[in-house]
Amino acid sequence: MAAPRYCPSCLCLAAPSSTLFRAAPRRPAFLPLTPRPSQQPLQLRAASLKPLKYRRKDGPVSQKRKKARTTFLVPDLKKAMQFSLVDAMRYLRASEVGRPPTSSKYELHIRLRTPKNGAVVRNRLRLPHPVKTDLRICVIAPADSPHGQAAKAAGAVIVGEEDVFLAIKDGRIEFDRCLCHTDSLPALAKAGLGRILGPRGLMPSAKTNTVVKDVAASVREMAGASEYRERFGVVRMAIGQLGFTAEEVQRNIRAFVEGVRRDMQGINDQTPKEVHEVVLSSTNGPGLSLDGTFGVAEVGVV
């Protein structure tokens, strides 16, 4: 005799002929190990896309990545408008109308043909006609020593050791250049002023020729000297005041260009360099390329 069957919802006795109690198909004990293609894990699908993502795309030669330049970009002077010195000074003076002759300066930019990585041109030069004569120089040496007295006679504004160190630590930096005698170098190192003077470019060092034995001669040389340094293939420096004549500016330009060429010869074995273009500008004026000629100066104009 068949066992009685009950309704799964209300557990009441049902007739054997009811369709509610048909035997359900028996599930297998274990699911198949191989999943269907549509049911692949996400990691497997992501892994399959990696070869497509990193596949090399061979495009035309024009679209391939160009090699980085090893030299600084220089303009083609055949397409540039160039001026004589006198004409360039006339245009620059027109841009500085209404300004005091001593406040505006002529600046010379020497563009070099040089590699990007290598030694740079850096030096200090005394021009025949100094541009800035109110330079305040500090000398670190005992004030009562012969070196300190000679520095004062040469034009140094501040001379001393311990009192100068205390003033610098208090934030009273009342000078534009700083020199140090070789005998006072240990005291300067012990004072620990590198964090204060270093960011301002005033820390004396043998590399910048500011640690010297003859401080008086260095003060006289630095009093009317100007510093220059190559940056991105260009050397720039103030070459004269707006009130200078064309002859004075010409002598300063000649001295500056010759000084830069001497510096290039000193490092030519390490980094080959040559002058490509000379540009004259002013504080508020444009840059005008010079053709190397002087021009005709009119009386009362230049």
Domain containing 211 — which CATH number? Answer: 3.40.50.790
Structural domain contains residue 83: yes
Q: How many CB atoms lie within 10 A of CB 46?
A: 10
Structural domain contains residue 215: yes
**pLDDT, position 300:** 42
Q: Are residues 89 and 221 in the same domain?
A: no
Q: Are residues 150 and 103 in the same domain?
A: no
Q: 61 Cβ partners below 8 Å, 6+ apart? A: none
* The last residue of a domain, from among 161, 196, 225: 225
Question: Is 240:297 a contact under the CB 8 Å cutoff?
Answer: no
Q: Is 144 exposed, middle or buried (0-12, 13-18, 19+ CB in 10 A)?
A: exposed
Structural domain contains residue 184: yes
Q: How many CB atoms lie within 10 A of CB 48?
A: 10
Q: Are residues 194 and 277 in the same domain?
A: no
Give the integer Cα–Cα distance in Å for 131 and 259: 16
Q: Are residues 86 and 137 in the same domain?
A: no
SS3 label, residue 86:
helix
CA neighbor of 21 nearest in space, from 32, 11, 8: 8
* The last residue of a domain, from among 187, 209, 225: 225
* The last residue of a domain, from among 160, 191, 225: 225
Structural domain contains residue 151: yes
Give the integer Cα–Cα distance in Å for 131 and 105: 8
pTM: 0.58
**pLDDT, position 299:** 38
Going residue by residue through the chain, which has 302 residues, state the pLDDT in tens, using 9 for 90 and above.
Answer: 556 665 665 655 555 544 544 555 666 655 555 555 555 555 545 555 556 556 655 555 555 666 777 778 888 888 888 888 999 999 888 888 878 777 788 899 989 888 888 888 888 888 888 787 667 888 888 888 888 888 888 778 888 888 888 888 888 888 888 888 888 888 888 888 888 888 888 888 887 788 888 888 888 777 777 788 888 888 998 888 888 888 989 999 999 999 889 888 888 877 888 888 899 998 888 888 888 888 775 434 44
> How many distinct structural domains can be found in the chain?
2
SS3 label, residue 266:
helix
Q: Are residues 149 and 277 in the same domain?
A: no
Q: Are residues 219 and 243 in the same domain?
A: no
Q: Are residues 214 and 137 in the same domain?
A: yes
Q: Are residues 220 and 249 in the same domain?
A: no
Structural domain contains residue 268: yes
Helix runs in the chain, H state only:
42-53, 85-95, 146-154, 162-169, 185-191, 194-197, 215-223, 246-266
From the CA atom positions of the chain, what is the Rg in Å? 40
Structural domain contains residue 220: yes
**pLDDT, position 21:** 47
**pLDDT, position 302:** 44
Q: Domain range for residue 255?
A: 74-114+233-301
Q: Is 248 exposed, middle or buried (0-12, 13-18, 19+ CB in 10 A)?
A: middle
Estimate the crossing angle of helix 215-223 against helix 146-154, to 10 degrees: 20
Q: Are residues 94 and 138 in the same domain?
A: no
CATH number at residue 79: 3.30.190.20
**pLDDT, position 301:** 43
Q: Are residues 185 and 220 in the same domain?
A: yes
Q: Are residues 237 and 101 in the same domain?
A: yes
Q: Are residues 269 and 190 in the same domain?
A: no
**pLDDT, position 10:** 60
Structural domain contains residue 199: yes
Structural domain contains residue 6: no
